[in-house]
Every structure is written in structure tokens, then in C-alpha cells.
Chains A and B, each alone.
Chain A
Amino acid sequence: MGGSGRAWRLVAAACVIAHLQSGTSAAQTQGDPNPGAITLTGSMDASNAYLFRGIPQDDTGLILWPAADLGVALRSGAGTVRSITVNVGMWNSLHTGITGSDGPSGKLWYESDFWTSVGVGFAGGVNVAAMYTAYTSPNGAFPSVKELSFKASAPVRGTNPYALVAFELEGQADGGAVEGRYLELGAAPGFSLAGMAVAVPVKVGLSLDGYYEGLRGDERFGFFSIGGSLTVPLSSERSRFGRWNAHGGVDYVRLGDSNALRLGDNTKVIISAGIGLSY
């Protein structure tokens, strides 16, 4: 299957754009097309390969990732707890290769994920969020996986480090014997360059228990990745059609043994590009 960092990634993308275009402060100003409490984020990306937390899904055709997220700001203000946000969203993966329209199912729609999350923002930019995700496969390529995850992040000297822990409640990403527990540590140093946002995301995915089951049992190391991404605004922050952007990136992924066995190689370069909307 595939699955998830995307929910978090979509939210992170929205944050990058908001930062780039001062969306947060603009939200308080006159002329903001959407001063209410509901935010819509959407994106459509194309990629040459899809690895879910290092677990290979497909690299034989074109892969499309349409996604949308609806955020509801329940609280925002001063004090220790600065914000409380509820998000609901979906992420999809459409494959033209062997797990999609060219495969046994003949169907493009490989994956559809639904998530709902609650996030709390504290003073100093510290954020804690809990997310429930259901990873499903409309073309029947994998059985559904249900997961609960928690993420903590903070803006430390522009590096934006985070830690994510996920627990499989039902179904398994690795198709192994037991539901897994997953740990991801990462950072996404970023800066602005000539009106564009540049980020260098780095992360490592580890099994806490049963997440990367292979021939020799559960393996601790799942993957390491480092990438570069560029986001270019396509509209002004006050556009009544929301803030649009074009983005692209390259990730180099080094895989652990069980994932390398699935892929047939221990490294992979993933290229992706797309457009995004934040409103």
C-alpha cells in the first residue's frame, strides 16, 4: 500500500505557502478572501515512483497524487495554547503502471486515504497533533490499513524538526505478521529565495515493532531520505481564488534491507512536481 506522510506533508505544504506569503497575518487584514475559520488546502502532484515510508508501491508508470484537506480553526489567540485545529482530508494515488491501469485490476485508482486530526499549537511554535488515517485501495491492491499517529514539531533555528509515532490498529503497511509501530524523525530546513520557498527535508523511518518485517524478522531501519523542494507562488496572497503555487522536488531514498528486497535495489531517486492551493 502506500499511505501517509502525505497527510502531514499536505499540512506542511500549506504552512510553507502561508509563511512565504504571510498568509497568517494577511488573514487578519481587510481584503483577505477567506477571513473565516475554515481553510482549504489542495494539491495535485505527479511522480515517477511511490514509496510509502520506504516501502515500494510502484515505479513503473506515471503516479498522480490528488489531495484535499479542510482545516477548521477552533481556537486561535494568545496564551499557552495558541491554537486548536481540526483537519479532515483525503489523499489519493493514481497509477498508470503495474499496480494501476496496466496491472491485473486494470484500474487507475490505487489508493485513497482518509484522515482526521486534531492539532494543538503552543507558545514558541511547538505543535502537537494526533491523526487517525484509513489507507484504502479502491482497486483492491492492498487491504485497508487503519492507523493512529502522533506528531510533535517545533521551529528550532529554521530547521523545523519533528518526531512522528504511528500505530497500526488494523491491517499492515508491510503485509507482515503483526501490526506495526513506526517512528519517524525528520527536519525540513527552509528559507526564502527570490520570492520562492526552498526546503531541504531530511528524515529517517524506523520500526519500533513489526513495521518492517522481512525475511529475517523485524528490521529496525526502514529508510533514510534527503531531498530538495522549491515552491513558487502563482498568485498574490489577496487573490479571491486563493493562493496557488507550483512546486517540485527531488528525494534520494536509501532503503533498509526488507524494503530494498521489495524494490530490488537499495536506493531510489524520486522526482515529483505539482500545483497547490491554499484558501
Chain B
Amino acid sequence: MFSIRGVRRATTAVAAATLMVGLSGTRAWAQDATDPNPGALTITGNIDFLNQYMFRGIRQNSTGIAIWPSFDLGIAAFSGEGGLKSVGINFGTWNSLHTGDTGQDGPSGKLWYESDFYASLGLGFGGGTSFTTTYTAYTSPSNMFSTVKEIMFKLGVDDSGPLGKAAVKPYVIFAFEFDTDVATGQADGGSGAGKYLELGISPGYAASKAAIAFPIKVGLSAGDYYEHPLTGDDEKFGYFSIAGIVTVPLGGTTKYGGWNVHFGAEYQKLGETTKFFNGDESNQFIGSVGFGFSY
């Protein structure tokens, strides 16, 4: 199967965490006198179980399950009323443990397929606009792929203020790989460092007992991101994804923070290169379940 790739969490875990924040009203609640953590540091953690791990459309395992433990520390460095509303710094680790062919049952015999470290700087502006810069090192403790280093920019708009329940929360991501060589340090294992473009929306609805979201996105190569292993051609279209995520709080927020269970189902339509990595199958279905907490 795929000899290489850098990896990264699919949207489900991130979206679930985001949903949970909205669901429990953490931001507003953070001002409340009963808040167990009114300080400037926020801890977020998740553990998810999936049948399939696709990184931006590139398949990472064929058999077994993937387990994603992750941890994030957020620092609210600044909040104000001017043009710049907030500055946030995040550090985190995200991991993928595989029981199947790229993990415990594979040639390495090791469960720990991937460990990512990231650091980000997020700026919040008026109108719900945010701009985030993230550095990520995608590493493989089981040596299944060479380390991928990436800088990513994300511009997003939270339009729930003016649109309410009709908000779609559009965003655009641009990422580029650096410190690469031929077949080294690249998600596609290609010849040139890749540049990636992602466009997406994440409409959703949060009620008191559950929240549901329908993230939709398309992943494109802005340059050498989806190089076909046989032809060497860079395919523009990487994948299209549509998902449904339900997040259910486990009780309210207590001195142990807010906990939730979340379920996700995702369909991906793959481009030519990602289809090749997927065993020549252009469709992929992903199911997930997990637990999250925010403190």
C-alpha cells in the first residue's frame, strides 16, 4: 500500500471539540463565578476510535482500527475590544495508534503509527473573523513515514452572529511543506514539496442536550501536493468530504471540566492520486466514536 505519507487528523475530532465548546458555552461560561478554570489556560483532550484513517484524502491504514488520543493546551494571551479582539497560542500533540497493517499487525509490529506536535498563533478580529498560523511536525514513531514539517494558515469566519442558526462558518486553509527531499518529508511521498489548499464550511446546530454539525470540505493541491506515484502528475483535486457529527455532553461542566461523547460518519470522494493510494477505490466511508473533554 502507500509507502509514505504525512498524516493528520481528519476533521471529525477537531469539529467535535469545536462543537463541544459551542454546546457547553465555554467561552461565555468562562466568565462565570462557578467556572472551575477562570484562568487563561484551557486544556482540551480527546480519544477517538475509527475504522479508517484518511489524511487529507490519503489513506493511512487498510485493516484494523485507528485510535486517536490528543491533547491541547490553549493560552488566551490577549483579549480586547479594539480591532484585534483576541490572541491565542496553542500547543498540542495528536497521535494515531493502529492495530492493523500499518501498526501492530504490520511490518513494524508497533502500534504507534503517528505522533504530531503543533504550535499555533491565532488572531481574532471583529465580525467573527480569525486568522491562525500553525506549525506542525508529523512524525512516525513506528517509522512508517518520514517526518513532515508544515506551516499552515487558516482564515475563518464565524458568521453565527449575523446568521444565527443559518451560519455556515466558512474557512480556507493554505498549507505548505518545507524541509523536504524526493520522497521525504511529504504527505504524498512525491518529488516536490507540496502546497495544499482546503475550502470548507461547517454548518451546525447546538441544543441543550446535543449538537450536530455537517462539515463539508474539498482538498486541492496548490502545487505538488497530490503527485501520482505512477505518472508523476500533480492532481489538482485531492478529495471531497461531507460528514455528520453528533456531540452529546456527559453531564454539565463540573470541577473536572466538561466531558462529551461524539459520533461521526464521513464520506470522501477521492481524486486520481488519492484513489490510487486507496487501492483504486474512489469512495471511502469513515465511522468514528470518541470521548472529549475541555477544562
A-side residues, CB < 8 A to B, are 33-38, 40, 42, 68, 70, 72, 90, 107, 109, 112, 136, 138, 140, 240-242, 279
Contacts and interface: CB of A to CB of B under 8 A. Distances in A.
Which of A36, A42, A109, A241 counts the most chain B CB atoms within 10 A? A36
A241 B139 contact: no
A34 B139 contact: no
B118 to A, nearest CB: 14
B141 interface: yes
B75 interface: yes
28 contacts: A33-B38, A34-B37, A35-B38, A36-B36, A36-B255, A36-B256, A36-B257, A37-B36, A37-B256, A38-B43, A40-B41, A40-B73, A42-B73, A68-B73, A90-B93, A109-B139, A112-B115, A112-B141, A136-B112, A138-B115, A138-B139, A138-B141, A240-B39, A240-B41, A241-B40, A241-B75, A242-B39, A242-B41
Contact of A34 (B39, B93, B112, B141): B39
B295 interface: yes
Contacts of B257: 36, 38
Interface string B85-100: 0000000010000000
Interface string B236-262: 000000000000000000111100000
Interface of B: 36-41, 43, 45, 71, 73, 75, 93, 112, 115, 139, 141, 143, 147, 254-257, 295
Contacts of A42: 73
B256 A140 contact: no
B185 to A, nearest CB: 13
By Cβ-Cβ distance, the 4 closest A-B pairs, closest first, are A36-B36, A33-B39, A138-B141, A37-B255
A279 B255 CA distance: 14
B115 to A, nearest CB: 7
B41 A279 contact: yes
A58 B73 CA distance: 30
A33 B139 contact: no
B40 A33 contact: yes
A35 B141 contact: no
A202 B172 CA distance: 56
A112 to B, nearest CB: 7
Contacts of B71: 68, 70
A251 B73 CA distance: 32
Contacts of B41: 33-34, 40, 240-242, 279
A136 B141 contact: yes
A37 B295 CA distance: 10
Contact of B37 (A36, A72, A109): A36
B115 A34 contact: no
Contacts of B139: 109, 138
Contact of A36 (B73, B115, B295): B295
Contacts of B254: 37
A90 B139 CA distance: 16
Contacts of B75: 241
Nearest to B112: A136
A92 B40 CA distance: 25
